[in-house]
Chains A and B, each alone.
Chain A
Amino acid sequence: MAEIKSNAASVEFRNVSKFYGKSKVAAVNDVSLNVEAGKLVTLLGPSGCGKTTTLRMIAGLEMATSGEILIGGADVTSLPATDRDVSMVFQSYALFPHMSVMENVQYGLRFSGFPKKEIAERANAGLELVGLTGYGDRLPSQLSGGQQQRVAVARALVLEPQVLLFDEPLSNLDAKLRRRVREEIREIQQKLGLTVVYVTHDQEEALAVSDRIIVMNNAVIAQDGTPRELYDAPASAFVADFIGEANMFDCEVVAVDGDVATVRLGPVTLNLPARDHAAGPARLAARPNRIDIAAAETPGTLPGTIEKATYVGSHLEFVVGTEFGEVFVVSPDVDSGLRAGQPVGLAFPERGPVLIKG
């Protein structure tokens, strides 16, 4: 029995731009990035941010207007999709409806010059890998959404591509199935050591599957880092708000001593990592679950009044009115008995708020 291996290679963008049409609107603007071999990197961002265009440029389905694209160190900038060793799993799966599952999986192998016997062996191995042995004779329309999705993955995998691309692969699945399929994808990626570039607009999905996340906004990279870095130390208000939710405060950096900045937020004084900020006005991002609700008048807290309290099962959601406007707070303590109209104090724990730019 043949086994599916990986020929994982790195992907590199050097100052790549893509302009559409005569209007010269940039879909991707001067982007440089590097995906190491064997890693799963997610392109994350709101719709229209350029993430899908970036993915399609890796595939060779779009041609870069300027810049260089390298796969495994070789310049592929002007190669069309047919000639790149890259496979892609499409959002719609793009299974050929007039071919059986087996024919679909064999499709790419038939153009790669393998002998007939090996084509069959590899296709079987591919189906086995995604747990669909025995489904070869069915037509795509006779499979469930999740099964179709796995056929699409198998079809791409059997070619043992240098890079495997996923374009929002979970968006056509229902919520429960999504979690399982994304775990399967991650499992196969790690088992085979594949280089995967994965596009999504769902931040939870991105945090769950990625080695690294590249957040894009308005055709440029907003931030590039591990899931932990992005969540705990967002570089900008955009990233802070896009990954998880964040409350933004205008604050004042009073003094900077080495890596530590002393920050004043109304009546509260905080010592935070400076992150290259100098003294002067700045902005602060705080996650809703990293703000504690204390009794009113507690020293070192921001005074406010609960405006709304919503019970959502696993936790409570509060909207608290303060001098900085409404603050959104999530508390796991569903039995606290806090009610709308009650005055409280908002406390910021050590690892809570982060200084950000913009």
Chain B
Amino acid sequence: MRHHKEVHGLHPTVILWVAVGLIGFAVLPWYGTDSNFFTLSWLLDGYPLDSDVAPALFLALQGEKPWLAPIGVLLLVPFLLWNRQKTDPFFGRLLIAVGAIGFAYLMLQGFAIGLRGWRFEWMTALFGELGDRQFGMGYGAMLAAGAFLFLFSLGLAGRGVVGGDVFVVSTIAFVITVVALFIFMPILQMLANAMITQEGTYSLSSFAGKIFSERLWGLGCVTQNIGCGVAWNSLFLAILVGVLTTLLGLVFALVVTRTGFRYGRVLRALTVLPIITPPFVIGLAIILLFGLSGAVTQMFAELFGMQATRWVYGLPGLLIAQLLAFTPIAFLVLIGVVEGISPSMEEAAQTLRASRWQTFRTVSLPLMRPGLANAFLLGFIESMADFGNPLVLGGNFDVLSTEIFFAIVGAQNDQAQAAVLAIVLLAFTLGAFYAQRFWLGQKSYTTVSGKGDSGVHPLLPSGLRYTVFAIAGFWVLFTVFVYATIFYGSFVKLWGVDNSLTLVHYVKSFAIGWTEFGIHWKGAAWSSFWTTITIALVSAPLTAAIGLLTAYLLVRQDFAGKDAFEFGTMLSFAIPGTVIGVSYVIAFNVPPIELTGTGVILVLSFIFRNMPVGVRAGVASMSQIDRSLDESSLTLGANSWQTFRKIVLPLLRPAILAALVYSFVRAMTAISAIIFLVSARYDMSTSYIIGRVENNEYGIAIAYSAVLIAVMLAVIGLMQLAVGSLNIGRRGRDGDLSQSRTNVAAARPQPAFSGGG
């Protein structure tokens, strides 16, 4: 046996977490502070005695909030483990007990005692009126909770869970806790809220009344000449968009891989567009082109004397905008699948006397099935979750995501109604998620084996080839036209009325002045722009970190309940941003976790909205790294944390960078979740732009969007450069990579997408 170290005194990891817990309990303010914690202004606000900023220890000593005292006592209990070894059964049992009791007590007191004393009437009845109250938990409480959680994990590891590996157990416990806290708890609270009536009591019948209402499910468009229910509208649009984006994506994928088309790289560049484009920008461009005073509309009116109409507002406009926005996503998914089909399959079919068309129909197309299902699912979810386009283009065609927004933001402020709508939306996306899994079933579609597969993909039959060329060509021209419109539109004074060119929109938004104090950010957009950059910069590393840790657990570790774990972490993939937004508003508006109006809630929503991006990037590239590398490191005496740091992380550098950049960019383009969460202090670019659209200031909105697109294009470009040089990196210094034999296949980081910006 290696390192036969006897522990004298207290186990070092126990010391660490007890110390963290005690700092949280006795040093940092227990409750959330009014001003930003990190400015440290709370030190001047009467710390440590004033009850707003006092640590729990001082509160308890002053006789306030006596229910906090047991937490401090629990944090001292681990000292009983003096001179005990980790393998000692008592060590594990005591830490499990301390951790579980501490964490549960901390949560329970938080939920039980709110701003007006006891949160539940039966507790008042049981314990009598409480003359005290508490606010949302702050950093002190967070550290204490973390300490309990990790002491609990250490105890579990001591009892031999997952091979007694502290790092792995702690990581699992951490990921489960944060996912439960910031995905499941808000969703459950939202479900509970859906049953609350106007009078504040819970009622199933009121819930049933809302969820089966005519407004949601009416069939007026079939039976009479009025609009259909909101749910039908959303569903119909999403299916149309799913099917059409899949078909268009397939056309593009075929053009690149099966026609001998020489400029495939140019087409691939198209896949960057949805990543860098805030989703509603396409909608804006559509209005500029086809709206009442749109360029195309005006042209037709002049040429053919047609009456200009508002035809584009509603289903037609939405369909065009969403197709433009989401087709590149389907393309990206399908190109991987179409390329992944082993050419030898198709060559085999041809040697078995199948013609090109028969090969395509009987072999190529069936093997693309999982890709097609995936592309459809993505299109469906993106469309369901899309918020920006319906907001600017929807007209009278109401869909769920905007309906939810107006239920919360409008005059009614009906959280229960919003929750009901969100449940319907969630049911649709989860249903699609399940249907896809069910449809693909157990069949294996893997055609790429470990062995090198040479050969070339056969060309499409010529009739089909010309068809896909025509469709793809038209669509590329249309896309270019739309983006050109955005760019051009940002310089036009008042589109359709005064078409003279001007810089006034840029000046209004991004003017910079000099004063005696230095640079003065004069433009109206700067505040939201810098907020967005800051929030995105803060959330990107956190998103990447939690995503990659989760990926590490999924790919590299085996533990009980891993399937459920995987399902839970990937669930947020199917949760539309609007639903996340609503549930955060409902769950984090009151103690114990009171975050509305802060920057923290924006960061949190980005972390958990974009977590699947990090998970997918991590899983994809970690699967390329041979597991024997980890095992070899373990047998050489490194523990799993050292292995993760020295072996896994360095090999994942391209994936880390990709995850960082994509979560950054997604944070900048997101709209659906954050429109509920922004505040006057923390306004984001996208919600600022939507605000301009609502005020009919299209010029500024377009100009701001163009700036965002340019910024993100630059970020993506820089990343491509960096990843490129990383891939060559040290290994390729001497050139000949083809001869080298390594355990790492060159993995191109693949961006992952999830429900709508």
CB within 8 A of B639: which of A63, A82, A145? A82
CB within 8 A of B632: which of A94, A98, A111? A94
A331 contacts the other chain (Cβ, under 8 Å)?
Answer: no
Are the CB atoms of A112 and B631 closer together than 8 Å?
no
- Total count of chain A residues near the partner, CB < 8 A: 42
Are the CB atoms of B635 and A87 closer together than 8 Å?
yes
A211–B74 Cα gap in the complex (Å)? Answer: 59
Are the CB atoms of A78 and B160 closer together than 8 Å?
yes
A29 contacts the other chain (Cβ, under 8 Å)?
Answer: no
Are the CB atoms of B741 and A145 closer together than 8 Å?
yes
User: How far is the CB of A94 from the nearest CB of chain B, in Å?
Assistant: 4
Are the CB atoms of B631 and A139 closer together than 8 Å?
no
B516 contacts the other chain (Cβ, under 8 Å)?
Answer: no
706-732 of chain B: CB within 8 A of chain A: 730-731
A178–B635 Cα gap in the complex (Å)? Answer: 25
Are the CB atoms of A91 and B635 closer together than 8 Å?
no
A345 contacts the other chain (Cβ, under 8 Å)?
Answer: no
Residue on A nearest B734 in the bound complex, by CB: A142
Residue on B nearest A108 in the bound complex, by CB: B636
A159 contacts the other chain (Cβ, under 8 Å)?
Answer: yes
93-139 of chain B: CB within 8 A of chain A: none
Which residues from chain A contact B632 at a C-beta distance below 8 Å?
88, 90, 94, 96
User: How far is the CB of A48 from the nearest CB of chain B, in Å?
Assistant: 18
CB within 8 A of B636: which of A61, A111, A113, A142? A111
A81–B616 Cα gap in the complex (Å)? Answer: 29
Which residues from chain A contact B737 at a C-beta distance below 8 Å?
141
Are the CB atoms of A94 and B1 closer together than 8 Å?
no
Which residues from chain B contact A83 at a C-beta distance below 8 Å?
1-3
Contact A94 to B163, CB < 8 A, known contacts A112-B2, A159-B637: no
A79 contacts the other chain (Cβ, under 8 Å)?
Answer: yes
Contact A94 to B631, CB < 8 A, known contacts A78-B160, A79-B1: yes
B634 contacts the other chain (Cβ, under 8 Å)?
Answer: yes
Residue on A nearest B164 in the bound complex, by CB: A80
Are the CB atoms of A92 and B626 closer together than 8 Å?
yes
User: How far is the CB of B431 from the nearest CB of chain A, in Å?
Assistant: 28
A337 contacts the other chain (Cβ, under 8 Å)?
Answer: no
464-520 of chain B: CB within 8 A of chain A: none
A299–B217 Cα gap in the complex (Å)? Answer: 97
628-642 of chain B: CB within 8 A of chain A: 628-629, 631-640, 642
Most buried by B among A81, A95, A107, A139: A81
A60 contacts the other chain (Cβ, under 8 Å)?
Answer: yes
B427 contacts the other chain (Cβ, under 8 Å)?
Answer: no
User: What 1/0 flags go to A101-140 for Cβ under 8 Å of B?
Assistant: 0000001100111000000000000000000000000011
Are the CB atoms of A97 and B631 closer together than 8 Å?
no
User: How far is the CB of B390 from the nearest CB of chain A, in Å?
Assistant: 46
Which residues from chain B contact A82 at a C-beta distance below 8 Å?
2, 634, 637-640
User: How far is the CB of A13 from the nearest CB of chain B, in Å?
Assistant: 17
A155–B638 Cα gap in the complex (Å)? Answer: 13
User: How far is the CB of A306 from the nearest CB of chain B, in Å?
Assistant: 39
Contact A81 to B651, CB < 8 A, known contacts A63-B163, A94-B626, A142-B734: no
B351 contacts the other chain (Cβ, under 8 Å)?
Answer: no
A61–B647 Cα gap in the complex (Å)? Answer: 17
A148–B632 Cα gap in the complex (Å)? Answer: 14
Most buried by B among A82, A112, A113: A82
Residue on B nearest A107 in the bound complex, by CB: B636
Residue on B nearest A148 in the bound complex, by CB: B741
Are the CB atoms of B730 and A61 closer together than 8 Å?
no
A87–B632 Cα gap in the complex (Å)? Answer: 8
CB within 8 A of A107: which of B163, B638, B639, B740? B638
User: How far is the CB of A66 from the nearest CB of chain B, in Å?
Assistant: 15
Which residues from chain B contact A80 at a C-beta distance below 8 Å?
163-165, 634
Contact A98 to B2, CB < 8 A, known contacts A92-B743, A141-B731: no
Residue on A nearest B739 in the bound complex, by CB: A141
B742 contacts the other chain (Cβ, under 8 Å)?
Answer: yes
CB within 8 A of B635: which of A76, A86, A96, A113? A86
Which residues from chain A contact B89 at a C-beta distance below 8 Å?
none
A126–B737 Cα gap in the complex (Å)? Answer: 27
Are the CB atoms of A139 and B635 closer together than 8 Å?
no
Which residues from chain A contact B628 at a C-beta distance below 8 Å?
90-92, 94
Most buried by A among B628, B636, B731, B734: B636
Are the CB atoms of B1 and A141 closer together than 8 Å?
no
Are the CB atoms of A97 and B636 closer together than 8 Å?
no
User: How far is the CB of B630 from the nearest CB of chain A, in Å?
Assistant: 8
A108–B638 Cα gap in the complex (Å)? Answer: 7
B340 contacts the other chain (Cβ, under 8 Å)?
Answer: no
A141–B634 Cα gap in the complex (Å)? Answer: 22
Which residues from chain B contact A317 at a C-beta distance below 8 Å?
none
A85 contacts the other chain (Cβ, under 8 Å)?
Answer: yes
A263 contacts the other chain (Cβ, under 8 Å)?
Answer: no
Are the CB atoms of B638 and A111 closer together than 8 Å?
yes
B650 contacts the other chain (Cβ, under 8 Å)?
Answer: yes
User: What 1/0 flags go to B1-28 for Cβ under 8 Å of A?
Assistant: 1110000000000000000000000000
Which residues from chain B contact A113 at a C-beta distance below 8 Å?
3
A177 contacts the other chain (Cβ, under 8 Å)?
Answer: no
User: What 1/0 flags go to A70-81 for Cβ under 8 Å of B?
Assistant: 010010101111
Are the CB atoms of B629 and A96 closer together than 8 Å?
yes
Which residues from chain B contact A94 at a C-beta distance below 8 Å?
626, 628-629, 631-632, 743
User: What 1/0 flags go to B619-658 for Cβ under 8 Å of A?
Assistant: 0000000101101111111111010001100110000000
A253 contacts the other chain (Cβ, under 8 Å)?
Answer: no
Which residues from chain B contact A139 at a C-beta distance below 8 Å?
730-731
A59 contacts the other chain (Cβ, under 8 Å)?
Answer: yes
A84 contacts the other chain (Cβ, under 8 Å)?
Answer: yes
A111–B3 Cα gap in the complex (Å)? Answer: 10
Are the CB atoms of B635 and A81 closer together than 8 Å?
yes
Residue on A nearest B732 in the bound complex, by CB: A141
Residue on A nearest B731 in the bound complex, by CB: A141
B744 contacts the other chain (Cβ, under 8 Å)?
Answer: yes
Which residues from chain B contact A98 at a C-beta distance below 8 Å?
650-651, 730-731
User: How far is the CB of A194 from the nearest CB of chain B, in Å?
Assistant: 15
Which residues from chain B contact A148 at a C-beta distance below 8 Å?
741
A273–B189 Cα gap in the complex (Å)? Answer: 81
A148–B646 Cα gap in the complex (Å)? Answer: 20
User: What 1/0 flags go to A243-284 for Cβ under 8 Å of B?
Assistant: 000000000000000000000000000000000000000000
141-174 of chain B: CB within 8 A of chain A: 160, 163-165
Residue on B nearest A61 in the bound complex, by CB: B631
Most buried by B among A71, A97, A112: A97
User: How far is the CB of B433 from the nearest CB of chain A, in Å?
Assistant: 25
User: How far is the CB of B631 from the nearest CB of chain A, in Å?
Assistant: 5
A347–B164 Cα gap in the complex (Å)? Answer: 62
Which residues from chain A contact B730 at a C-beta distance below 8 Å?
98, 139
Contact A141 to B629, CB < 8 A, known contacts A84-B2, A87-B636, A111-B642: no
294-326 of chain B: CB within 8 A of chain A: none
Which residues from chain A contact B743 at a C-beta distance below 8 Å?
92-95, 97
Which residues from chain A contact B740 at a C-beta distance below 8 Å?
141-142
CB within 8 A of A159: which of B160, B636, B647? B636
Are the CB atoms of A141 and B636 closer together than 8 Å?
no
A91–B634 Cα gap in the complex (Å)? Answer: 16
A165–B160 Cα gap in the complex (Å)? Answer: 25
List 16 additional contacts besides A82-B637, A111-B636; criterion CB under 8 Å: A60-B634, A78-B164, A80-B164, A83-B2, A83-B3, A92-B628, A94-B629, A94-B743, A96-B629, A97-B731, A111-B642, A112-B637, A141-B740, A142-B734, A145-B741, A159-B637
Q: Which residue numbers of A lie inside 8 Å of B, CB to CB? A: 59-61, 63, 71, 74, 76, 78-88, 90-98, 107-108, 111-113, 139-142, 145, 148, 155-156, 159, 165
The 6 closest A-B pairs by CB, nearest first: A108-B636, A141-B740, A94-B632, A94-B628, A81-B634, A111-B637
Some 13 contacts from A to B, beta carbons below 8 A apart, are A80-B165, A80-B634, A81-B634, A84-B2, A84-B635, A87-B635, A88-B635, A94-B632, A98-B730, A108-B637, A111-B637, A111-B642, A148-B741
